[in-house]
Chains A and B, each alone.
Chain A
Amino acid sequence: EDQVTQSPEALRLQEGESSSLNCSYTVSGLRGLFWYRQDPGKGPEFLFTLYSAGEEKEKERLKATLTKKESFLHITAPKPEDSATYLCAVQETSGSRLTFGEGTQLTVNP
């Protein structure tokens, strides 16, 4: 059974204070690992897909990396508008369903 564990559950940063969110996963065969951002009361917003170990993707202040066991979402010099819940999900090669982690609630204080 696929498992996705995100840490920490919650993270408070000062504006400009860089940090990383972790997503550890167990899957028989990885088709893709996904990162989403979710604001309160809204659906998840797609950020990145990573397909193979060593892959990296960047978008503004966010950078996602992937190893064979985990993924990191690095946030460089965050701003208050980066405050949201960040969700990680994995998709197995044998199917289309996504298995989500519990998310990391990020708060960036001005």
Chain B
Amino acid sequence: SAVISQKPSRDICQRGTSLTIQCQVDSQVTMMFWYRQQPGQSLTLIATANQGSEATYESGFVIDKFPISRPNLTFSTLTVSNMSPEDSSIYLCTTLRGVWGTEAFFGQGTRLTVV
């Protein structure tokens, strides 16, 4: 299984500020994904981050609110901009591994609380 490390593991932020979440993978991967899990809900894909190109955002998510960087094949960042309490969630990055390159392994996530 992949080893995925996220920083920070949790944070409490003031509304209107921004937080950048870092995701480090233990080996080179083509695709990295960012998910959000709001309290009591399942996971929703925010965007797919490919190295060397702009991230692809899902419906309902925009680059101005969730800018993503992918400077190399082992690292990505997600910024949550101009935060409001509605952004309080767990943010998770993941990548694909396995025999067929289809199995998604998750990091421990970043628990964000906006006050």
The interface of chain A, by Cβ under 8 A from chain B, is 31-32, 34, 36, 41-46, 49, 51, 87, 89, 91, 96-98, 100-103
Contacts and interface: CB of A to CB of B under 8 A. Distances in A.
Contacts of A46: 1, 103-106
Interface of B: 1, 31, 33, 41-45, 48, 58, 90, 92, 96, 98, 100, 102-109, 111
Contacts of A41: 111
Secondary structure of the A side of the interface?
strand
Given A42-B109, A100-B43, A101-B42, A32 B102 contact: yes
Nearest to A103: B42
B48 A96 contact: yes
B104 A34 contact: yes
A100 B103 contact: no
Contacts of B31: 96
Contacts of A91: 102
Nearest to B101: A96
9 contacts: A32-B102, A43-B106, A51-B100, A89-B104, A96-B31, A96-B96, A98-B33, A100-B43, A101-B42
A45 B1 CA distance: 10
Given A32-B100, A91-B102, A42 B108 contact: yes
